[in-house]
Amino acid sequence: MKRILIAVLTAVLLPISAHSAVDKKSFRVVIDPGHGGNDLGTHLRNGKSRVTEKDVTLVLAREAARQLAEQGYDVYLTRNGDDEVSLPKRTAMANKLKANVFLSIHMNSTPQVATGSDTPEGIETYILNNASDASSKRLAHLENAVVSPDQETDSAQQLDVALILKDLRLDANLSESKRLACALQKNLVTETTVRNRGVKQALFHVLLGADMPSVLIEAGFLTNSNDRSFALSSNGQAAIGKAIVKAVDQYRTSTKGTPQAKFELSSCKVN
C-alpha cells in the first residue's frame, strides 16, 4: 500500500517552482504573517502597551508585500488582518495559487524572564528539516504549538502519509529552499542592523505542506529591546522589506541548475 502511495504522491509533488528566468509578473510570492487571531505568538508588555508577534509579523509582511508589488511581483498574503488561519491552510493557499516561493515571517523569543538588550538577539532563516539542535527544537515547538492535540495524534496511517509527504517535499525542494534561505539571510543581515544568526533547519509544521521552496524567517527577538525597537520602527520595517525584495530578485534571476545557482548553493552554510 505504501509503495503505491509513494508512487502516486511522487507524480503529484513535482516542484511547481522549478523556473527558468521567470519574469516578475509571473513570479508568484506568498507571504505568511505568523500567528493571528487568538494565536498571539510570543508577546510581552512594552511599557503600558502589549506587543504581540501576530501584530509585528503582519506589519512586516504587509511592508514586504507592498515593496514586492511595487517592483512588479505577483504577491499574496495568507492573512491581511487579525485572522486565525490554521497552519495547513497557509501552505494550501500557496499550493492552490501555484506560488513560486512561500515565506513565513515570525519573531523569535527567549525563555528567560529578562527582556533587555542583553538577551539573545538576531535574525535567522529556517528551512524545513529535522531539528538539529536544542534551540531549533525549542523554537519549532513554540511555533508549532497552535497545532491541536487531535492533529498531532491522528491515526498511524495519517502519520505515515504525513511523513511520506514530508520526505518527498524535502527531496523535491530542499536545495532550492536552502538557496532561497541563504539569499534572504544574506540580504536581511546586509540591509538591517540586526545580528546574523545564520541559516538553520527545523521541523516547522507551517512549512510541511508547501509544494514549493519555502522558508521561515525569524526577524529578530521580540524579547530583545534592540531587535524589538528595530522591528517596530518604520525604518526597520522598510529595511526588512527591502531585504526580502532583493533576496527574491536574486533567487528568481539565478535560475536553478545554472553555474550561479550552483555557486550560491555550494557557498551556503546551513547549521
Which residues of the chain register pLDDT less than 50? 1-19, 131, 149, 152-155
Q: How many domains does the chain have?
A: 1
C-beta of residue 99 within 8 angstroms of C-beta of residue 29: yes
158 within some domain: yes
pLDDT of 257 reads: 81
- pLDDT (tens digit, 9 = 90+) per residue, 183-196? 999 999 999 989 99
- Identify whether 248 is part of a domain: yes
Distance of CA 43 to the CA centre of its chain: 19
Say if 271 falls within a structural domain: no
Return the sign of the alpha-carbon dihedral for residues 109, 110, 115, 121.
negative
Question: What CATH number is given to the structural domain containing 188?
Answer: 3.40.630.40
Residue at 252 is within a domain: yes
C-alpha cell at 203: 521541523
d(C-alpha 14, C-alpha 10), whole Å: 7
Q: Are strands 49-52 and 43-46 parallel, antiparallel or unpaired?
A: antiparallel
Which domain, by its residues, includes 29?
2-266
Tell me, yes or no, whether 159 lies in a domain.
yes
Q: What angle do CA 216, 163, 171 make, to 5 degrees?
A: 65
Kindly report, residue by residue over 110-160, the tens digit of the pLDDT.
Answer: 876 555 667 899 999 999 885 455 555 555 555 566 555 455 444 455 555
Beta strands in 110-245 (DSSP E): 123-128, 196-202, 214-221
> According to the model, what pLDDT value does residue 174 have?
87
Instruction: Look at residue 69 in the predicted model and tell me its pLDDT.
Output: 97
Cα distance between residue 17 and residue 226, in whole Å:
36
Q: How far is Cα 21 from Cα 43, in angstroms, rounded to an integer?
A: 41
Q: Within a domain: residue 212?
A: yes
pLDDT score at 15: 40
